A and B are shown apart, each in its own frame.
Chain A
Amino acid sequence: MNEVEFAYRVRQALNEGTDQLPYRVLLRLEQARRTALARHKVGVERPLWIPALRFSTGWGGLAAVDQTAPAWRWIRRLGLVVPIVTLAVGFVDIYRWHEDQAVAEHANMDLAVLLDDTPIDTYADKGFGVMIRDEQGI
């Protein structure tokens, strides 16, 4: 008998041996197989990439919503436009508030000068003189 024939008969015996495995072993192999199949990565949904500015539905993210629908496309556009508009309105409001503050300060100063409530040191201040000249167009 040559090597290949001998090996073939050993192989047959080995295959018979695999048919005689204890139930405990077969059960654990089946469990291992099921665990492995549960981690089969092809069937697993990958986490969806969501930009920070996107509108969030609040019930499990965007994965459950059909994002190809026209209505959803409008919502996505709004998700970008709304923060930009809000930011612009905020800047305008801040600018206006700053202007009002400056006007109020000048009014208080004018009133103090008219009522002679201005401290004498104020007239010696170089900046105050420059401001008065600017206002009078000198």
Chain B
Amino acid sequence: MATREELGEFLASAERRAYKQALFALRDEDNALDVVQDAMLKLAEHYSDRPAQELAPLFTRILQNSIHDFFRRQKVRSTWVTLLSAFSGNQDSEEDPLETLEAAQGTQAAESAADQAERSQIVAIIEEEIANLPARQRQAFLLRYWEDLDVAETAAEMGCSEGSVKTHCSRATHALAQALLARGITL
């Protein structure tokens, strides 16, 4: 059974990746934060009596389900609500560049300002291109290579065959490489 400290440590280690995954899928900071908070609450309320090593796969599944639930809810929303949420999304995106640069200065003090700016731009472009991938390809790629799930686990998570996971990952990799190359970035 996971203790409160173990749960806290796990959430602290997983929350940023979870937020980024939700952001790639939803493309809205506030919605992504809401989904991550929802997933955290569900994990703490319903699964905190599970062993600590089970928390990671459980949280991954809860997060993916929460993202799917969000899309389902969004489908039934009326048009004017969608319009309002789009306006609020634009306001938030105006704040991001400055805040991002401030965070970068604190964490990478060894690099020069120019290197930091360039590196941040590259990271931003990579994130942007990942967000532009088709949903299933992006999900497979992130689960497989960022969440460190193996092919079988990724297939179980996505509800598809292992062959489909390999295909999605391969296509995602090629599409990402081509998109980055087109923007002058080689990894």
Give the complex CA separation of A6 and B16 in angstroms.
Answer: 22
Per-residue 0/1 for B154-177: is the Cβ within 8 Å of any A Cβ (1 yes, 0 no)?
000000000000000110010011
Complex CA gap A9/B40 in Å reads: 28
Hey, which bits of chain A sit against chain B, CB under 8 A? 1, 3-4, 6-11, 13-14, 16-25, 28-29, 32-33, 35-37, 39-43
Q: Are A28 and B49 in contact (CB under 8 A)?
A: no
Mind listing 27 A-B residue pairs with CB under 8 Å?
A1-B187, A4-B145, A7-B173, A9-B187, A10-B126, A11-B146, A14-B126, A14-B130, A16-B119, A17-B126, A17-B127, A19-B107, A20-B100, A21-B100, A22-B96, A23-B103, A25-B29, A25-B33, A29-B16, A32-B36, A32-B40, A33-B8, A36-B7, A37-B4, A37-B44, A39-B45, A42-B1
Please tell me if the beta carbons of B96 and A40 are within 8 angstroms of each other in the complex: no
Q: Which of B11, B16, B145 contacts A36 (CB 8 A)?
A: B11
CB distance from A62 to the nearest CB of B (A): 25
Which of B4, B15, B169, B176 gathers the greatest number of chain A CB atoms within 10 Å? B15
Contact B103 A21 (CB under 8 A): yes
